[in-house]
Amino acid sequence: MTLAPAFFIGDVSLDEYYSCDRWPRLADKGFVNLLGSYVGGSIANAASVHAALGSPTEFVSLLNFSAISDRLVAELEARSVSVRHMLRQEGIAESRNLIFLADGEHVVLTVDMGFQPMDLSRTLMQDLRKPGYLYTTLYRSRRLRHEGLAQADLLSDARAHGRRTVFDLDVGGFGEADLPYLRGAAILILNQLGYAAAFGDRPVDSVGQWMDENEVATIVRTRAADGAEAFDGNRRYDVPGYAVRVEDVTGAGDTFGGALVHVLGMGGGLDEALDLAVAASARAVTIRGPASGIASRAELDAFRASLRDENFRSR
């Protein structure tokens, strides 16, 4: 069976890591330790996880023509992620994140690259008008353009041709103005903060009416060490997490999304997809760096086997 490539449209960046004993207050001073730099970025991380698991993967972002951008593109290619549709433009800022590890958490400062439109080529749009998954964010969706199509209308056009949209909504959730973009989505992925911003403290299986009104097929709430839950309009899924030693939580959510789409794209069910995604993200937090989630299926299976004892599940 030939699998349709999944498209990942979003950010790729040079992630510069630092550690500090504490996160300073305003007007405070402190020392940091430089830990190194890695090729990261939320959607690029998810794409890299997806590709490492053996699924065909297309990645699209907008970069300048600097040496840093060349490094980002080359690294994605080395990870078996196709960048044949990558967009390049002079005069835009470097794509960089400054990541500080402190007190078992992370703080991410992102260089503002502006809001330049992402003009999709005819070839790229033709490929998007084919069945398969599209993994993206609201921020990127607002920048998409192709001839007379733009933003939510462009997504609607792609969905009409069988493209199933997965939104990584992360911590921000969404508001009323975002609903045209989310309409008809296959999956919305939110972490606990993002879910609370969107739905408050409502149980995930109580939002069925909202899903029907907006034609959203599935909502997923990730719960960090407690695993994840989902609702597909009929059934609530609940997958417990793993009790592991946490080294770096950066990229855990991206790992979850990439693994989830991999299983679904292979024809697996939501329960199987959630189970692998939770395991993949648990493994990722035990390793430092944004690419910590990159692993083969054999490596993930070995990780799960090593923690098979129920004592290692968080609940």
* Residue 137: strand, helix, or coil: coil
Pick the CATH number of 6-11+42-92+116-312 from 3.30.310.50, 3.40.50.620, 1.10.357.10, 3.40.1190.20: 3.40.1190.20
DSSP of 9-35: ES--EEEEEEE-SSPPPTT-----EEE
Residues above pLDDT 70, as percent of the chain:
97
* Short-list 287, 288, 210, CA closest to 15: 288
What are residue 148's DSSP bridge partners?
A: none
Q: How confident is the model at residue 4 (pLDDT cuts 50, 70, 90)?
A: confident
Task: Tell me the mean pLDDT in the region 283-302.
Answer: 91
What pLDDT is stored for residue 309 in this prediction?
Answer: 59
- Residue 310, pLDDT > 80, answer no
**Residue 166 near residue 134 (C-beta atoms within 8 A):** yes
Residue 12 burial class via C-beta count within 10 angstroms: exposed 0-12, middle 13-18, buried 19 and up: buried
* Short-list 207, 53, 204, 47, CA closest to 133: 47
What pLDDT is stored for residue 194 in this prediction?
Answer: 96
The full set of domain ranges for the chain reads 6-11+42-92+116-312
Read off the pLDDT of residues 187-216 as tens digits, 9 standing for 90 and up.
999 999 999 999 999 999 999 999 999 999
What are residue 110's DSSP bridge partners?
A: 97
- Average model confidence (pLDDT) across the chain: 93
127: its two tokens: 């490929």
- Residue 315, pLDDT > 60, answer no
Task: Tell me the mean pLDDT in the region 304-311.
Answer: 72
Read off the pLDDT of residues 77-127 as tens digits, 9 standing for 90 and up.
999 999 999 999 999 999 998 989 888 788 889 888 778 899 999 999 999
Read off the pLDDT of residues 159-168 as tens digits, 9 standing for 90 and up.
999 999 999 9
DSSP of 81-100: -B-TT-EE-TTPPP-EEEEE
